[in-house]
Structure formats: structure tokens, C-alpha cells
Amino acid sequence: PNTILNEKLFDFIVARYKFFIILGDLNAKSKDWFCPIGNKKGETLINIINKHNLKILNNDKPTFKRSKNVLDLSICSESLYLFFKKFDVLKEEISDHFPTLTIFEKLSLIKPKIEHKKINWEFFKRYIIENHVESSTINSINEIEREYTRLTDEIKLALNKATFTFTTPFTTKPIQTVSRELLNLIKLKRKIRRLYIRTNNPEHKKLFNFLERNLKKKLIERKNNQLIDEFNKLKNFNQSENKHWKLIKKLENKDESNVKEHSITHNGKTFIDKTEISNLFADNLANIFTDESHRSHIPRTFIQSNDPPVWITIDELYNAIKNLNIKASPGFDNISNKVIKNLPSKFIYSILKLFNSSLEFSYIPNSWKHSKITMIPKKKKPPDNIESYRPISLLNCIGKLLEKIINDKIQKWAEQNHVLPNCQSGFRKNRSTQEHILRINQSIINGFNQIKITGAILFDLEKAFDKAIHSGILIKLHEKGLNSNLINWMNNFLTDPEYCSIWGFKINKTKTCHTTFTTAGVRKNYDEKYKLNLLIDNEQIPLDPYPTFLGIKLDPKLSYKNHLDEISKKQISKVNLIKKIKKFKWSSSIKINRTLYKSLIQSVFDYCFIIIQSDTQKIKKKLQIFQNNVLRIIKNFPIKTSIESIHKTLKIETIDQRSNKLFLKFIKSKANNELIANEIADFISSENQRFITPFEKIRLSGDNYTP
């Protein structure tokens, strides 16, 4: 009686269901449904009913024995009300409330069917070959638009002719049925509970407890049998089968197939309706990507130059098509990468002509700039906050193909002309984040060896792409010597929102911190001694002794203890999965678990191969103990079996062997990297090092890595 009526529950139901009935004692009184007097809940319920045009089906018969009130309400939607026949209050003695009966008639259950479409690719190719009209010379941007429209129309017509449809009955997830024996036991337990509440007889309480224990035991047994059925699907585990990995995620309690729908709260108002939420996201993205106070018009021909034209060769086009991901989603035209891969050579040459005309006139068809946007929730963020989602844009696949080719050309030019700074590892071939993990690790240990304190500021650029002035980037590329035809083409594709300061990047203050590395570690006076007066926009940058850098959790002593604890916790569910599979004693259990270990656990350890080489921590020993325990779970070994024999039997390297192998391979691959080469040279020239760096493995290996 003292609880507040939940209006959001009604909003939720109305937004998602057309036909529904709500039954229950809401403790809401009103003369509208024949109560002698009303109350606040009654007023609230009247507002809800009027808001959603709901119908109360009760008549004037009281449902509560001790008063004349109608408390047990039957409320239905306007759509369901069309089928309402009768409401009645039954004079049955079951509690202090009378049971109610609500009858609907002429309700028919329509069994929907799912329509499937399948494409006959051989017919598709043959139809294109027989009906394709070769492209004529393109002389203007209007002709580019017409030519692209003509080509897409040809593809869509061929797809329509090659597609056949068939239907199957609609099925949802199977209803979780229980045996008749279990159902009777549940009913008996509930009956005895009601009897005990009425009589307060100790014998009834004993019987109820007995039934509850017995029911719990049988439910656990039923759950275990279901689990066995699911695991049996893994008996013939295939590492390349996507369905097996989905089952692994499900058994690991990471099934993300059922994404929960959430309401969004913005400016103090909660939104449930899907259309309203979509508009809210659209407005938010518009505010991010546009800033009218700083926009300036940039002409389509951004750079005037006499640079030679840039042409795409047929080999470049074929190579790009060959590397397309056929699982990528299409844009508005629904022409997917799989369709492009099945286009005959005759049609590919027409696409080549269109692409080269696009480059020649620095023009991109307008439809290539339109995208379908899906909002994806960020991890560990509140789901009702609009800022907790990131957009995924589904662009036109033919347009993305041209983008890929031009991107490859620009990357090749940038590498050949040494345009990118050597310290940049992201978005570059044969470069990785491990380079920076090695460099920061080496810098800190060098500081330890020189009895110096090392400080670091870690910051994040907020919405870097969204805030970048594209015109400024294009001007820089022109100054570096990039062909003006490519620059003009990119200018036509990009918009030009201004960004802060000179280059416009805005630092995300919530992800910015500074830290200090010292052999003393974290002591009582750490904050007082090492906190510096560093400011961003007159705001203090916080001191964090345990920041995360490229997925590695750092600490002042560089012991990596916190990182070890974190990755060990993440492996618990994976180890439990291995234990469950082992219990079934399949002939393939060891093979499956060995594959799972290498894929799910060893891969996490592999990312740590740089920090494992550091001599300032015991991470290697602890990881080895962890690995030993898991390998003993995978296969039963006699107690006195040596660690070496266990690893040899299962054909898995020890942590030391694996990390050494990965580190030496990494160093050898970076022989031409100036930054890494300088780090090696400094190490070789230094003497009497108290703290051993990862480069010590070079000396021990006996190989020559001198730059």
C-alpha cells in the first residue's frame, strides 16, 4: 500500500506490446472503478490510463472481502479490448481476495512465417554478362552520377532475377518444459505453503521444507542434464567453425546474442520509444560532427596543381576485390561485398572506368556519403546514458572499395617518403603497439639504473576524428608532396568541422592522469611526494599510481603485479570451461582443451611477452605456475611428473620459452626501426646495470642485433 505506482512499467509495456492485459492488486482506488473513495494511487492510475488509452474491464463487484473496494483490476490495451467478452468476480474461498475471471473471444493465433532469400550466383553472373552495357566515356560529374546509377540498377536487376524466396514456420527459442513429475512437485510445494500460512502447523512446515529440498535437488539435476546436452555439441569441436565458438561464449556465460533494450535518459527525461531514441542519437551525433560557428566553405577543387593524373590499374582493383570481407554489411543500396566478388570481369572494367573518372574529376557520388548508423554500447558504461554509445556507419560497399584502393596508395606514398613520424605505430603495416610497450618499459628501467625517477603523463584525445579540421590535414599532405588529384578527391569526400586550438584536438580530462615510477613503489607518502601541479585548462591532472597503457596495467615499481592479478581473474571462466569439458571424458577432450587453452588463455599471455622479459618483477614465475595448473587440468599426469614432461606431452611451450621466442622474433623484425635500434645501441653501450632490461635476451641469445 505504501509503494509508489510504477509509471515506467506501463510506459515500457505500451511501447513494446500491442495486445496485453495487466492483472493484479495495485492498491489503487477510484470511483471510476466503483470504489467508495479514491486515493493517490487511483489518481496516478487514472492519468496512466488516459495517457495510453487503456481499458479497465472490472464491473461493480468488490474483489476484496473486508471492504467494498475493487482492488484486483483487469486492465487491457485498446487493441485487445476489441475481443473482450465478459468480466466476473468468482465467490471462491482462496484468500481475503476474490478470484476474477476475464474472458476474451474470437482471438486467433496467427502463426507467422519467415521469408528467406537465396541467390543463384551462377545465374547472377550469366545475367550480368548477357545484359551489361559497356560504359561510354565520362566527361562530367553529372555523368559520374548517371553512370553509377546505371551500374547499380544493373546489379539490382540481376540480383532480383537471380534471387528466389522460400518460407519456413516462425520459431522462437524452445519453451523450457519440465516433466509432469517436476510440475506436480512444484504445485504440491505451493499448496503446502499456502496451507502452512493458513494453519501455522509445524507438521506442514516440515513437509514444506522436505519438498523444497527435494525440488531443489531435482532442478539442479535437470540443469546439469541440459548442460551435458550443450557440451555434447562440442564433442566434434572444429576450430574454424563459428558456431562452436559461439557455444564456447555461451557456456562461458558471455552470450551476447540477446542484447537488452534500454531506455535513454537525457536532460532529465527518460525515453523508451525507439523512434524517439533514434532521433535523440541523431541530434547528438549532429552536435558532435557539426559546429556552424566555425564552418567554412571549401571548394571541390581544393588544390590547383599541374600534378599528373592518378590512375587505378585493373590489377589494383582485382587485388582490392580479392581482399574484401564478404561478411561486411552493405549500405543503403544493399549491394554487399559478396555481390562485388561475384561480378564478372566485363562489369569490373566498367567499375574501373567509374573509379578513374571519380579521381579525374575529384568527385564522389552523393550516395557514397550516406550511411546507415548503428549505435553500439561501450563496455562498462551506463546503458541509459547517450554518451555510452559509439556509432558504427555502414557505407556503400562500392564506394568503400575505392576508398580502400586510394588509402593503399596514400599509405604507400607516406612510407616511401617518410612522411609519418617514426614514433607512430598505429595504422601502419609491420608496426604494433608492442613497440611503445617496449620503449616505455626500457625508459623506466633506464631511470632505475641511473637512480632517477621517471614521470609520465597519459592522455586521451576526445573524439579526435570528429574534431579534426580536415582542410588543415589536406594542406599538410599537399605541402609534403601528395598528388593534388588525391587531395582534391579526399576533400570532396570529407567534411570540415573546425577543432580547438591550432590543430583542434581536445584532451579528454576524465582519461588523463600522470604517474611516477620509482624503486620505492607506493608508500604512505607517495601522493604527497610525487603529486605534481600539472594543469589542463586550469584543472589539476590527477596522480594515478596504477594507470593502464595500451592494455598493460603499470605500477610505480614496474612489478606488473596488478596486471598479473587482472589477467588471472579474467581467465577463471576459461579455466572452468576447460574443467567442464574434461568431465565428459571424450576421446577428443584433450585436443579440444589444448586448442581452447592456446586460443583463449595463451594468447592473453602472449601480449605480455615484453613485460615478461623485465627482471624487476616475478610475473613470469607466477604465470608459469598458473599455466602448470591448467595443463594438469587438461590432462591427468602422475604427481611426480616433471614440468618439462608435461609441456612436452601437450606440445606447449613454457612461459619462458614462449616469451623468449616472441621477443627475439619481434626484435629481429624491428631491425630497420630507428627508435628500437637506438634503444638497443644504448643498451649495448651501457655497463653495470642493476636492473635487467628485456634487451638482455639479445646478449644471451648470441645473435647480432647491432644496428
Average pLDDT over residues 219-239: 71
Whether the Cβ atoms of residue 362 and residue 485 lie closer than 8 Å to each other: yes
| All three cell numbers of 447 | 631511470
Give the residue, 403 or 501, on which the prediction is more confident. 403
Has residue 315 got a pLDDT over 90? yes
CA distance 168 to 170: 6
∠ CA 553-557-559 to the nearest 5 degrees?
A: 55
| All three cell numbers of 58 | 472490472
- Per-residue pLDDT band for 490 (boundaries 50, 70, 90) equals confident
Whether the Cβ atoms of residue 448 and residue 692 lie closer than 8 Å to each other: no
Has residue 496 got a pLDDT over 60? no
Residue partners of 619: CB distance under 8 A and separation at least 6: 559, 560, 561, 563, 564, 608, 611, 612
pLDDT in tens, 317-343: 999 999 999 888 898 889 999 999 999
Instruction: Give the model's pLDDT for residue 110.
Output: 65
| Structure letter (DSSP) for residue 587 | T
**CA-based R_g, the chain, Å:** 34
- Per-residue pLDDT band for 136 (boundaries 50, 70, 90) equals confident
Q: Helix-strand-coil percent breakdown of the chain, rounded to 5?
A: 50, 15, 40
Has residue 445 got a pLDDT over 80? yes
For the beta carbon of residue 605, count every other beta carbon within 10 angstroms.
21
Looking up cell 512446515 gives 205
Q: Is the dihedral of CA 162, 167, 173, 177 positive or negative?
A: negative
Question: Which amino acid appears at position 450 of this protein?
Answer: Q
- Per-residue pLDDT band for 707 (boundaries 50, 70, 90) equals very low
The answer to which of 286-295, 445-454, 504-513, 589-598 has the lowest mean pLDDT is 286-295
Least Cα distance to 153 among 318, 328, 349, 350 occurs for 350
Top mean-pLDDT range of 69-78, 222-231, 497-506: 69-78
Instruction: Give the model's pLDDT for residue 296.
Output: 43
- Per-residue pLDDT band for 467 (boundaries 50, 70, 90) equals low
Whether the Cβ atoms of residue 511 and residue 482 lie closer than 8 Å to each other: no
21-25 vs 72-76, strand pairing mode: antiparallel
Has residue 178 got a pLDDT over 90? no
| All three cell numbers of 256 | 551476447
Instruction: Classify residue 369 as exposed, middle or buried by CB count within 10 Å of its CB (0-12, 13-18, 19+).
Output: middle
Whether the Cβ atoms of residue 138 and residue 59 lie closer than 8 Å to each other: no
Average pLDDT over residues 662-673: 81
Whether the Cβ atoms of residue 646 and residue 632 lie closer than 8 Å to each other: yes
- Which alpha helices (DSSP H) does 235-311 contain, by range? 242-251, 274-289
- Per-residue pLDDT band for 480 (boundaries 50, 70, 90) equals confident
